Structure 1
Amino acid sequence: MKNIVYYLVVLLTLILLNGCSSASHSWTAKAYHNTTAHYNGYWYAREELDKIDQDIWAAYEDDYNRILRLYPPLDSAQAKGYDKEIQEAVKMASLAIQRHPNSKWVDDGYILVGRARFYSLDWGNSIQTFKYVNTKSKDLDTRHRAIIHLIRTFTEHQEFNNAQAAIDFVQKMPLTKTNKKHLLLEKAYFYQMQGDLDKMVRNLSEAVPLLKKRDKPGRIYFIIGQVYQKLGFEAEAYNYYKKCIATNPEYEVDFYARLYMAQVTEISRSKDVNAARKSFRKLLKDGKNKDFQDKIYYEMGVFELKQKNLDEAIADFNRSVRAGSNKRIDGEAYLRLGEIYYDTLRQYQLSQAYYDSAINSLPKDYEGYARIKARQEVLNEFVKHLNTIKWQDSLLALAAMDTAALRAQIKANYEAKKREEEKRAAAEKKRRGGNRIDLSGGRSNPMFANENGDQQEVDWYFGNPSAMSVGESEFKRVWGNVPLEDNWRRSLRSTVANNEEVDDTAPDDPNEQKPTNEPPPADPVAAEYDRLDKQIPRTEEEKQQALDKIEDAYFKLGDIYYFKLQESDNAVTTYNTLLKRFPETKHEAEVLYKLYLIYKNSDPGKAERYASLLLSKYPDSTFAKLLKNPNYLAESEQTGEKQKVLYKDAYEQYTQGDYAASRQIVGEALALGQTTFVPNLELLQVLIIGKTENAAQYQYGLEEFIKKYPEAAITEYAKTLLQSSRDFQTKQERRMGIQYIRSLEEPHYFIMIYRKDEKLSDVASAVLDKFNLANFKDLSLKTSNLILNDDYALTMVSELPRVTSAIEYAQTFKAQVSKLPELQNHKFNTFVITKDNFDIFYRTKGLDEYIQFFQKNYPAEAQ
């Protein structure tokens, strides 16, 4: 008997050992390997990946102000934090694959490896692993599952074309319910990442019947509701929000579903409106929603706006700003207020303050941020020009007052302001004592009930978002975007001290009181007088500068009304104010043309009057040409394109050092006619001068270009070139001092210098041209005029090839000058100078120094 038992044990052992062999295909081998692969390698690898997935969800914070993401985004920094778990998952899945190659869990192990690579953002290996499963697996459902994972990987890596190809392939296959559900969810995510909400919600709706409890259907219902609400299908949105609440989802999802459900309630009767408001008030009263009050007030504002109740909407948006600290919600409330004051009330200054606050609060990835930023910049420009007009007019009015009257006016304003502040302080103290604070902050200061039904009204700065928004905007204009920290003024001063660039483009503010750590002045009236006195235009030149600023501000304000705000009536008023106040304005031709365009369709009679005035006063202007030929700009543009082609050739010659050829091509391009591209050609001409002439002529050419084209886009570049040239010479000057070069064996100029009041420029050029032709025809000399400084101008003859030629020229001119009647009644001086010395002379304006150098280094016969 013992022998029988012994042999049975041995036989069983042999059978088990044979089953452990990876090459065996017996039923015992399959059972062993399937069990071991599943509960050892595969199970532990899946547990690690599920833990990573949970950690990713836990780290992600949903933004309920947007349509929720179906999946949280993957982050490379976060991926490093779970690298250990990734490696462990790959290791365990690999053990199941390597040690149990005949088990049915091999393909599933490969999918786990692909998922691990996916979570570690190793896109290439993840894709290759899923493709391997699709081509090698014998199980059709596993292959489909691999392709579905592949779609997610391609989507995350933004390979949308490949993702679409995978979708097209797998959706034709016979899928299990589970695979179909996952495919629909992946397709929905694929469309969400591309912003196609219509296809996204179609796939989510199709997936709804397939959802299980572990899929968190409440969240998906909520997302469907958000998409339908965004697309304008409010009845569908309402139904899905209701479905979401029925699943008892997480509290935050439940809260927002109830909030948005009130927003999309179908309003057909007044009692429906009251029911919706009651729903909002119920959410406000719930203590669990304390942290969400800003969002509730915001949605109340949106609701009232839809009912066209502007005062209530403004009040609700203002409450939203006060109720919480979520910058995004604040930004959206500011944005809504800015839109109301812009689109409906046409109060652009208030709108500008709210848009400023919105831009400072909203994240840069906010939907439509670029459009919001563009409108904010338009409003900033609008308010800037409006403030310029008001401030410069105020300064001109103050300039007409004598000292005593000005001091009396400042004192009266100060005392009135002080009385008002004392009155407000008393009222505030009384209200605080009576626990009555006005929190509306609205434009019309409306009354409203708190959650207990009590009426409240306020007069407190920090309860007035309109005032706070304006104050915040002004603070940032003066101080910049200062971080919230102690001693911010000190840190800002250190920043400004290291910043070489100062923005002086903003208009002065008549009420600007810049923050300071210094104690208030003993005599505020005297301090204010001193501040204003420094800015008041006293001289005629200063008054003209103030008027020039007003003139330009009116012109730009009219353009903003006409082109950017689409306010034709206000544009007409502003343009006419400009023409009436500044009858000699440099903008008259352009303004007349714009007035013609405004009235062209609405009032042809007025349009014709403006057209006639334009043609009679400015017949050669671009705007008159446009009036005669509406295709003028198009034809000019064609000419400009030809000039651009020639410019390219000219610039290529310039870079190769063939300046004569470059100058010739530029001349050909300019001969084609006047276009908007002409400034580019003329600047290239100046650059050629910089390479072929002296620095003085180069700088003079840049100066003249800047004067001629002050508004051209390329003028800033010309200013940079001019400043660089001057800076270089200044550095040379500081290093070497004013030292003329004693080497005279190089080309020379002959200079005739005279005071500007002699008005000799044209005469001198003509006389010297005639003199050159008569005496030095073979040298092909040319003359040019330059301004030396405020007192002196000069006429220059260039260039005399050698010092001997220069001395001969000077001697000849000296001998014949008495026979030149055109010069008899004028005072001037003459000398010769080398090209290098002329650069030094023109830069330093050292006339006396050079005369001494000339007398010392050149023969007396030439002097």
Structure 2
Amino acid sequence: MLVLLNGCSSERNTWTSKAYHNTTAHYNGYFYAREEIEKIDKTVWSNLKDDYNRILRLYPALDSALAKSYDKEIQEAIKMASIAIQRHPNSKWVDDNYILVGRARLYSMDWGNAIETFKYVNNPKLTKDKDARHTALIHLIRTFVEHKEFNNAQAAIDYVQKEELNKQNQKFFLLQKAYFHQEQGDYDNMVRSLTQAVPMLKKRDKPGRIYFIIGQVYQKLGFEAEAYNYYKKCLATNPEYEVDFYARLYLAQVTEISRSRNVAAARKSFKKLLKDSKNKDFKDKIYYEMGIFELKQKNLSEAITDLNRSVREGNNKRIDGEAYLRLGEIYYDTLRKYELSQAYYDSAIRALPTDYEGYARIKARQEILNEFVKHLNTIKWQDSLLAMASLDSTQLRTRIDSAFQAKKAAEEKRMGKKKKRSNRIDIESNTNNNIFASANDEEGTSTEEESVDWYFGNPSAMSIGQTEFKRIWGDIPLEDNWRRSLRSASTAVSNRNQTLLPDEQNPNQAAQVQAPPADPVAAEYDRVNKQIPRTDEQKKEALAKIEDAYFNLGDIYYFKLQENNNAVSSYTTLLKRFPESEHEPEVLYKLYLIFKDSDPGKAEGYATKLKEKFPDSSFAKILVNPNYLQESSLAVEKQKALYKTAYEHFENKEYRAAKAVISQAQELGETSFVPNLAMLSVLIIGKTEDINQYQFALDEFSKTYPESSLAEYAKKLLKSSKDFQLSQEKRQGIQYIRSFEESHYFVMVYKKDERMFASAALEKFNENHFKDLRLKTSNLVLNDDYTLTLVDGLPRVSSAIEYFQTFNDKLATLTELRNHKFYTFVITKDNFDIFYRTKGLDEYIQFFEKNYPAENQ
């Protein structure tokens, strides 16, 4: 017994000791730590919500909120792995335990410690097992990707690609490389890495999911035949049901179209999916894909029908949003029905998440359409009010009553149709009970009830209905007999409210539930009568609103919708209705521009009228001299006025509004005042973006406007910003370690625009002068300005100084480095970690000059 116990000492190197420590380290600490990591891995995957409207993620994104839920497992994994390392330091499982510690820190989003742990395992002096080092490096790539350090991830990938990996690590590396490309949106390189990994996939790798992702990428890139092959491979693996369903759905898109062009067969595939009872919860997605399919076949009516069915059938808000978006695009781009398009774009913006691809572009178009409909409704409503101004009170009340009865009859007819359809829901789309279907506020915003009779074809009505449902029932899950879960509670509340006196009931509740007016005709009469222009001044004001609305509609058609015919119609209507309009010179000039290429004769007629009727206008002068705006002060004065407005927004921290006004001013053309606008834009960047973007914008300003008086001011701001940044770094107190008897790196630092081939030059130098050391060369990005090349493998300080001295002696012979500026020094591994983290180049050069022999510098 004593002999056995003595043989189990961690300090002994006998066969008995090794067997004991290897077995104990493996089946105690390492085993339990791995179990905890696998629990965490399952938790992370189980919380992944796949969005099949996008290419699926190869790995779940790490979330700090979720990380708190498995913190106990994190701590347990680190504890068990650490015990194994401490108690069995000579076992072959030490590096594997360190990798588990690194993975635990990765899952806990402790980026710094995770990176340091994986780098520690990669040290060849500490880890003799090259496979373990490779595994650590591949996990390091994942850590860099999750932390959005893509430059460092690329450097690690470049390093690993030079190594000889075993099959397991090769597969793992290709998947991580594909994930790196996916996070950057580089789908071409992503699919290349995935297809290389395919032959190595095992059952535990969920190959069906990976095949499906490859199919998605190929379909996105337009290689439908390849997509077809991988969707078939996915189905052959019997994946989980949801993946199976979407693979069959997308297969219907790429099979018939890419191969036989048999459209009927494709439609049959879709219908087959619809009939399958297992796909009940996916009908919205099937109808959506059917709509997209018909859209590709240019069958607009079928596409519109299917997309509307997608909204009606489903409860997936994202799919609803995409269906609304496609309908909006159809009415906008193809049918040119902008009022309907506006309704669909409004619904799309409400349904789609803000991180949806192209959300900013969709939002911009929605805002254009909102503005368009606003001006259109202003014209309709103000014209209606002017028409009603000639009516006396009796005639007005009679007309309102007639409109009310007509609306009531239409609603009753619609209700009668809906009662015949058991699956229709009657929700009032206009809760204020306005009788006139028109815009009714002073700003011309719309309260017009949609003209679509069918509820599910009316996006506005659906949105109001959804809001009303949630107000009454709450945000409850979609399930059978959903009322039952609230029956007892609602009954109790109802009984309690019935026992209260009117003055005891909840005042907030009473405020929310407003009874409809006793006489809706009288209420509508009062509302309309208040807005009717009676006096000449009021009529003049109403006409001014119509005049401005026509002008704005013309501009929207011309500049934003590129609808020249409709722009001409709006502009000419404006000139006919308002012959003395203040907008006439500008309208004549725009009409000239519209017809300049298509109808030169008509264009010349507008030009002649402009020059004869308004010879002193800036637009007439532009016709005579195209450079007039640049040569005159008119544009400058307009820009100064807009600049003042923008600067007021800037001082009030309304940066988005300020940027919009600056853009409006810049559209007036290039003038001597443009640099002032550009400088204000730079100052906005300084308030809204990080310091590096601010410095870049200042530098670009100096290059773009070198002759401007503001160029010097920009240089001063840039210097102040850099000085502040440097002082902040110095205030943190960079302290390098004065211990030099360890392995060193040789480092060359140079500006990115030097375009040096430093790696090739140093590898050639190493081969000629230090071949025995087997040195490795790699590149890293230091910051936005500098890149560095690293020579790794100098075993001690004497070797580092010898390398440094030899490099300086032979520098003249290195033709690749001639005529380039760079810094060189040697540095220990620990000091390099500090240097790379703090980016303190000047600080380390000072440290190097002070602490290394002067004759070698």
1:38-70, Cα deviation, whole Å (9 max, x unpaired): 111111111110110001111221111111111
Equivalence map 1:193-232=2 (5 Å) = 193-232=183-222
Q: Which amino acid aligns with 1:485?
A: R
2:579 equivalent to 1:583: yes
Kindly state the Cα deviation for residue 139 of structure 1 after the two structures are TM-superposed.
1.5
What's the counterpart of residue 615 of structure 2? 619
Residues 455 and 462, structure 2, Cα contact 8 Å, conserved in 1: no
Residues 22 and 99, structure 1, Cα contact 8 Å, conserved in 2: yes
CA distance in 1, matches of 2:276, 2:451: 27
2:26 equivalent to 1:38: yes
Residue in structure 1 matching 2:359, options 358, 362, 369: 369
1:624-678, Cα deviation, whole Å (9 max, x unpaired): 333233233444699959998xx99xx9xxx9xxxxxxxxxxxxxxxxxx97969
Residue in structure 1 matching 2:561, options 562, 565, 568: 565
Kindly state the Cα deviation for residue 592 of structure 1 after the two structures are TM-superposed.
1.1
CA distance in 1, matches of 2:383, 2:516: 31
What's the counterpart of residue 438 of structure 2? none
Residues 184 and 204, structure 1, Cα contact 8 Å, conserved in 2: yes
Kindly state the Cα deviation for residue 351 of structure 1 after the two structures are TM-superposed.
0.6
Kindly state the Cα deviation for residue 278 of structure 1 after the two structures are TM-superposed.
1.6
CA distance in 2, matches of 1:589, 1:74: 60
Kindly state the Cα deviation for residue 21 of structure 1 after the two structures are TM-superposed.
1.5
1:319-346, Cα deviation, whole Å (9 max, x unpaired): 1111121110110111111111111111
2:328 equivalent to 1:338: yes
CA distance in 2, matches of 1:163, 1:379: 43
2:293 equivalent to 1:303: yes
CA distance in 1, matches of 2:407, 2:192: 63
What's the counterpart of residue 43 of structure 2? 55
Kindly state the Cα deviation for residue 145 of structure 1 after the two structures are TM-superposed.
1.0
Q: Which amino acid aligns with 2:560?
A: K
What's the counterpart of residue 484 of structure 1? 470
CA distance in 1, matches of 2:360, 2:286: 27
Kindly state the Cα deviation for residue 554 of structure 1 after the two structures are TM-superposed.
0.2
What's the counterpart of residue 521 of structure 1? 518
Residues 134 and 144, structure 1, Cα contact 8 Å, conserved in 2: yes
1:181-223, Cα deviation, whole Å (9 max, x unpaired): 1111111111111111111111111111111111000000011
1:359-385, Cα deviation, whole Å (9 max, x unpaired): 000111111111111111111100000
Partner-residue secondary structure (3-state), 1:264: helix
Q: Which runs of 5+ in 2 are unaligned?
A: 427-449, 475-504, 652-669, 678-857
Residues 438 and 460, structure 1, Cα contact 8 Å, conserved in 2: no
1:277-300, Cα deviation, whole Å (9 max, x unpaired): 121111111111111111111111
Is the alpha carbon distance of 1:253 and 1:334 closer, same or farther for their aligned partners in structure 2, counting shifts above 3 Å?
same
CA distance in 1, matches of 2:381, 2:635: 44
Q: Which amino acid aligns with 2:201?
A: L
Residues 225 and 259, structure 2, Cα contact 8 Å, conserved in 1: no
Residues 357 and 472, structure 1, Cα contact 8 Å, conserved in 2: no
What's the counterpart of residue 822 of structure 2? none
CA distance in 2, matches of 1:591, 1:642: 18
Residue in structure 1 matching 2:534, options 512, 535, 538: 538
2:117 equivalent to 1:129: yes
Q: Which amino acid aligns with 1:105?
A: W
CA distance in 2, matches of 1:438, 1:137: 69
What's the counterpart of residue 817 of structure 2? none
CA distance in 2, matches of 1:676, 1:397: 49
CA distance in 2, matches of 1:108, 1:554: 74
CA distance in 2, matches of 1:179, 1:35: 24
Residues 298 and 329, structure 1, Cα contact 8 Å, conserved in 2: yes
1:439-476, Cα deviation, whole Å (9 max, x unpaired): 9xxxxxxxxxxxxxxxxxxx998953232x13356899
What's the counterpart of residue 192 of structure 1? 182
Partner-residue secondary structure (3-state), 1:607: helix
Kindly state the Cα deviation for residue 420 of structure 1 after the two structures are TM-superposed.
2.7
Residues 348 and 379, structure 1, Cα contact 8 Å, conserved in 2: yes
Q: Which amino acid aligns with 1:530?
A: D
Residues 356 and 473, structure 1, Cα contact 8 Å, conserved in 2: no
Q: Which amino acid aligns with 2:70?
A: Y
Larger radius of gyration: 1
Kindly state the Cα deviation for residue 527 of structure 1 after the two structures are TM-superposed.
3.2
Kindly state the Cα deviation for residue 487 of structure 1 after the two structures are TM-superposed.
9.7
Residues 386 and 553, structure 1, Cα contact 8 Å, conserved in 2: yes
CA distance in 2, matches of 1:36, 1:126: 25
What's the counterpart of residue 397 of structure 1? 387
Is the alpha carbon distance of 1:74 and 1:270 closer, same or farther for their aligned partners in structure 2, counting shifts above 3 Å?
closer
Partner-residue secondary structure (3-state), 1:266: helix
Is the alpha carbon distance of 1:101 and 1:426 closer, same or farther for their aligned partners in structure 2, counting shifts above 3 Å?
closer
Equivalence map 1:462-501=2 (5 Å) = 464-467=455-458, 469-472=459-462, 484-486=470-472
Residue in structure 2 matching 1:317, options 292, 307, 318: 307
1:82-110, Cα deviation, whole Å (9 max, x unpaired): 11111111111111111111111111111
Is the alpha carbon distance of 1:640 and 1:589 closer, same or farther for their aligned partners in structure 2, counting shifts above 3 Å?
closer
CA distance in 2, matches of 1:106, 1:641: 74
Residues 437 and 460, structure 1, Cα contact 8 Å, conserved in 2: no
CA distance in 2, matches of 1:638, 1:616: 21
Residue in structure 1 matching 2:249, options 249, 259, 276: 259
CA distance in 2, matches of 1:21, 1:636: 93
CA distance in 1, matches of 2:200, 2:33: 27
Is the alpha carbon distance of 1:634 and 1:197 closer, same or farther for their aligned partners in structure 2, counting shifts above 3 Å?
farther
Q: Which amino acid aligns with 2:119?
A: K
What's the counterpart of residue 110 of structure 1? 98
Q: Which runs of 5+ in 1 are unaligned?
A: 1-12, 440-458, 498-514, 656-673, 682-863
Q: Which amino acid aligns with 1:375?
A: R
CA distance in 1, matches of 2:632, 2:340: 42
Q: Which amino acid aligns with 2:514?
A: N
What TM-score, normalized to structure 1?
0.65
Residues 90 and 113, structure 1, Cα contact 8 Å, conserved in 2: yes
Residues 256 and 265, structure 2, Cα contact 8 Å, conserved in 1: no
What's the counterpart of residue 91 of structure 1? 79
Q: Which amino acid aligns with 2:246?
A: Y
Q: Which amino acid aligns with 1:484?
A: K
Kindly state the Cα deviation for residue 241 of structure 1 after the two structures are TM-superposed.
0.8
Q: Which amino acid aligns with 1:416?
A: A
Kindly state the Cα deviation for residue 612 of structure 1 after the two structures are TM-superposed.
1.9
Equivalence map 1:827-842=2 (5 Å) = none
Q: Which amino acid aligns with 1:333?
A: A
Kindly state the Cα deviation for residue 248 of structure 1 after the two structures are TM-superposed.
0.4
Residues 20 and 32, structure 1, Cα contact 8 Å, conserved in 2: yes
Is the alpha carbon distance of 1:594 and 1:59 closer, same or farther for their aligned partners in structure 2, counting shifts above 3 Å?
same
1:546-597, Cα deviation, whole Å (9 max, x unpaired): 0000000000000000011000011011101111111111111111111111
CA distance in 2, matches of 1:229, 1:462: 38
CA distance in 1, matches of 2:594, 2:575: 16
Across the aligned residues of Structure 1 and Structure 2, the Cα RMSD in angstroms comes to: 3.3
What's the counterpart of residue 146 of structure 2? 156
Q: Which amino acid aligns with 2:248?
A: R
CA distance in 2, matches of 1:516, 1:532: 24
What's the counterpart of residue 830 of structure 2? none
Q: Which amino acid aligns with 1:519?
A: P
Between Structure 1 and Structure 2, how many residues are aligned? 595
CA distance in 2, matches of 1:560, 1:227: 38
Kindly state the Cα deviation for residue 19 of structure 1 after the two structures are TM-superposed.
2.4
Is the alpha carbon distance of 1:675 and 1:145 closer, same or farther for their aligned partners in structure 2, counting shifts above 3 Å?
closer
Q: Identity of counterpart residues, as a percentage?
A: 72
